[in-house]
């Protein structure tokens, strides 16, 4: 795991990594950094039952983990997980990456510069692929990619006891 510094554009570091390394489907980079997070102070009785849950006045810095994944359907996907209860997670997808992956599979040739398609062999074909992002089945595809990776990343960020205790699902 690579530790990040405050102010670093971590997603850009992962994008640069992709330009210099051949990556197949799966986890290709994990990064850690400290950042503010909402945490709860839990007061328990001697028997271990929750008596009170208190929200602190400020958000302390806690460890966050970013898992950069190359997904065959979506391209570069990032799963960020807070290392502190309630273990908030965020999944970052890029629609341009999705369109690029799907266009390649459909045989549409293109050149990209960053997030821009700067040369397209079949504009109508690319538009047809892009339209699938706003179609109703896109909800199911979003759910699938999230579920495909969140649990894999969860096992990397939390041990099995922490997963059970958190009730994460």
pLDDT tens digit string along 44-91?
889 888 888 888 888 888 888 889 999 988 988 999 988 877 778 889
pLDDT band at 152 (very low <50, low <70, confident <90, very high): confident
pLDDT tens digit string along 95-151?
888 999 999 999 999 999 888 999 999 999 999 999 988 888 888 888 888 888 887
What integer pLDDT is reported at residue 38 of this predicted model?
A: 81
Higher per-residue pLDDT: 4 or 114: 114
Distance CA 85, CA 5 (A): 22
Q: What is the four-CA torsion angle of 147, 151, 156, 159, rounded to 10 degrees?
A: 160
| Structural contact between residues 94 and 75, judged by C-beta atoms closer than 8 angstroms | yes
Distance CA 35, CA 32 (A): 10
What integer pLDDT is reported at residue 169 of this predicted model?
A: 57
- DSSP-assigned letters across all residues of 39-79: --EEEE-TTS-EEEEE--SS--EEEEEEEEEEETTTEEEEE
What integer pLDDT is reported at residue 167 of this predicted model?
A: 66
Note the pTM of the prediction, 2 decimals: 0.75
Per the structure block, which two tokens stand in for 146?
């999230």
pLDDT tens digit string along 7-40?
777 677 777 877 888 888 888 888 888 888 888 8
What integer pLDDT is reported at residue 2 of this predicted model?
A: 61
What integer pLDDT is reported at residue 139 of this predicted model?
A: 84
What integer pLDDT is reported at residue 30 of this predicted model?
A: 84
What integer pLDDT is reported at residue 154 of this predicted model?
A: 73
């Amino acid at each position: 795991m690579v530790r990040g510094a405050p102010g670093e554009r971590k997603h850009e570091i992962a994008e640069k990594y992709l330009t210099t390394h051949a990556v197949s489907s799966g986890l290709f980079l994990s990064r850690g950094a400290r950042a503010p997070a909402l945490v709860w102070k839990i007061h328990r009785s001697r028997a271990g039952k929750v008596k009170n849950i208190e929200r602190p006045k400020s958000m302390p810095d806690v460890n966050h983990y970013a898992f950069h994944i190359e997904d065959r359907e979506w391209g570069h996907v990032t799963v960020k997980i807070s290392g502190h209860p309630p273990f908030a997670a965020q999944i970052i997808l890029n629609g341009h990456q999705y369109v690029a992956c799907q266009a390649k599979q459909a045989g549409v040739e293109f050149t990209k510069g960053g997030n821009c398609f700067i040369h397209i062999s079949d504009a109508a074909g690319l538009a047809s692929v892009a339209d699938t992002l706003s179609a109703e089945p896109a909800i199911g595809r979003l759910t699938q990619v999230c579920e495909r990776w969140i649990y894999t990343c969860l096992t990397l960020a939390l041990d099995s006891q922490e997963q059970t205790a958190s009730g994460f699902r």
